[in-house]
Amino acid sequence: MFLEDAEISEDNLVAMYRSITAGIDARIKLIKAEFEVYDTYNTDSSKTDTLYDLVESLCRR
């Protein structure tokens, strides 16, 4: 793991903070995009496929 091997000092503290924050922000945006793509924000369960159905449809392609 990167953080186990990385040496954090006063000289690189700000750069490390920015890198970690950017990584977390990117992960959040990816998860949000996946929710939007699979329409899981939709509260009407009749319109929302189950995870199994989504994976099955991807495997058929």
What's the Cα-to-Cα distance from 5 to each of 37, 38, 42, rounded to whole Å?
Answer: 36, 37, 42
Q: Quick one: pLDDT at residue 53? A: 76
* pLDDT tens digits along 5-60: 888 889 999 999 999 899 999 998 888 888 777 765 555 555 556 777 777 777 77
Q: Quick one: pLDDT at residue 44? A: 57
In angstroms, the CA 33 to CA 26 distance is: 10
In angstroms, the CA 24 to CA 3 distance is: 14
Q: Quick one: pLDDT at residue 52? A: 72
In angstroms, the CA 7 to CA 40 distance is: 40
pTM here?
0.53
- Asked if 16 and 27 touch (Cβ cutoff 8 Å), the reply is no
Q: Spell out the alpha helix ranges (H) of 1-61.
A: 2-5, 13-37, 51-60
Higher pLDDT, 35 or 2: 35
